[in-house]
């Protein structure tokens, strides 16, 4: 049992710990403390330890503190596993689907080093989930079981974040359809490519609204760049759907005379449009991206989104 003075000092420490989130000044906010709540759990080969957050852990490097607990709160025991799993979430943070996304994810992937593990508040999880799930669905990914919000505390000690209060509403979609945004940015094109199973160069024949989606009918002539599970006979009659994209802007789908780098993945029986970028060889950014594609290593989405 800790003395009363020790407990009071503990509460002061966790209440003043600063953090920077997505380039903005931010902090963790902790509610009431019950140390006995998280004393039990999985037994690991090595005792928990504090380690430096490496530069290549892009999700959480520069998040506002320099050390993290390993194993983390998602039971990743090695830094290699943390990097692989966390890498899949970087594109979602870039989509700005909720102001608390990075705080929520880093509290689990790279938890701050404290004497006891502190989990994110359930309402923070729910807000991030509700704000980001529509964008994830555009790319054919569900909210994963490992982040089920019911797992997290509701009234006990938990991590919150300014700009993501319990009353805040999820931001949902970005103003531009997610597969259509930041058209000529290398990082975005690479992220779209990694979220896709196939990629082709082609022109668009017709775009039709179909319920809440848009159906994208391609011209017959297609140059495959990455086929994945897509068979050549499927490529010939390929029709793509922009999931929940009936009303969001997409400049590329309004200019049917251009050739495009078009990416997609199969979800259930539909082929979803996951990225569309103008095929522009006069663009230095586009040429740089095409060159970088040859050696770019993608995170393993399939290991995370089950």
Cα gap 192→138, rounded to integer Å: 11
* CA within 13 Å, CB half, 214: 21
- Segment 7-23 shows an average pLDDT of 31
34 pLDDT above the threshold of 70: no
CA distances from 20 to 85, 167, 211 (A): 22, 22, 41
Cα gap 186→191, rounded to integer Å: 9
- Mean per-residue pLDDT over the chain, rounded: 81
Which of 288, 289, 95 is CA-nearest to residue 179? Answer: 95
pLDDT of residue 172: 45
Cα gap 29→14, rounded to integer Å: 8
- Segment 207-211 shows an average pLDDT of 95
Q: Which residue has the higher pLDDT, 201 or 184?
A: 201
| CATH for 4-160 (3.40.190.80, 1.10.10.10, 1.10.2000.10, 1.10.3210.10) | 1.10.2000.10
301 pLDDT above the threshold of 70: yes
Q: Which strand (E) or helix (H) includes residue 203?
A: strand 198-210
- Segment 290-301 shows an average pLDDT of 84
pLDDT of residue 72: 94
274 pLDDT above the threshold of 60: yes
263 pLDDT above the threshold of 50: yes
Cα gap 65→47, rounded to integer Å: 21
Q: Which residue has the higher pLDDT, 137 or 21?
A: 137
What is this structure's pTM? 0.76
Cα gap 288→200, rounded to integer Å: 18
305 pLDDT above the threshold of 80: no
pLDDT of residue 259: 96
Do the Cβ atoms of 96 and 131 come closer than 8 Å? no
Calculate the CA dihedral of residues 43, 45, 50, 56 and round it to 10 degrees.
-110
- Segment 199-216 shows an average pLDDT of 95
17 pLDDT above the threshold of 50: no
**Mind listing the pLDDT tens digit for each residue in 53-95?**
999 999 998 888 899 999 999 999 999 999 989 999 998 998 8
CATH topology of domain 178-303: OB fold (Dihydrolipoamide Acetyltransferase, E2P) (2.40.50)
9 pLDDT above the threshold of 80: no
Reported confidence tier of residue 165, pLDDT bands at 50, 70, 90: low
146 pLDDT above the threshold of 50: yes
Domain ranges of the chain: 4-160, 178-303
DSSP result, 94-134: HTTS-TTHHHHHHHHHS-B--SS--PBPHHHHHHHHHHHHH
């Amino acid at each position: 049992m800790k003395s009363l003075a020790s407990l009071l000092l503990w509460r002061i420490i966790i209440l003043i710990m600063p953090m920077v989130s997505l380039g903005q000044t931010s902090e963790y906010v902790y509610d009431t403390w019950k140390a006995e709540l998280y004393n039990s759990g999985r037994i690991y080969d090595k005792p928990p330890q504090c380690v430096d957050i490496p530069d290549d852990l892009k999700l959480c490097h520069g998040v506002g503190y320099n050390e993290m607990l390993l194993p983390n709160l998602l039971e990743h025991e090695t830094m290699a596993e943390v990097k692989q799993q966390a890498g899949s979430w970087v594109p979602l943070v870039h989509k700005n689907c909720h102001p608390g996304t990075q705080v929520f994810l880093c509290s689990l992937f790279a938890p701050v080093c404290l004497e006891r593990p502190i989990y994110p508040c359930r309402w923070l999880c729910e807000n991030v989930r509700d704000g980001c799930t529509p964008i994830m669905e555009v790319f054919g990914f569900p909210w994963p079981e490992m982040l089920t919000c019911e797992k997290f505390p509701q009234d006990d000690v938990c991590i919150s974040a300014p700009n993501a209060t319990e009353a805040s509403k999820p931001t949902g979609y970005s103003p531009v359809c997610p597969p259509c945004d930041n058209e000529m940015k290398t990082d975005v094109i690479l992220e779209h490519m990694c979220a896709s199973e196939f990629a082709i160069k082609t022109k668009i024949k017709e775009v039709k609204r179909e319920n809440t989606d848009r159906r994208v009918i391609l011209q017959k002539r297609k140059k495959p760049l990455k086929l994945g599970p897509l068979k050549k006979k499927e490529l010939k009659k390929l029709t793509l759907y922009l999931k929940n994209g009936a009303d969001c802007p997409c400049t590329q789908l309004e200019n049917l005379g251009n050739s495009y780098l078009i990416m997609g993945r199969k979800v259930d029986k539909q082929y979803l449009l996951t990225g569309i970028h103008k095929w522009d060889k006069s663009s230095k950014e586009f040429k740089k991206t095409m060159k970088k594609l040859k050696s770019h290593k993608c995170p393993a989405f399939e290991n995370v989104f089950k």
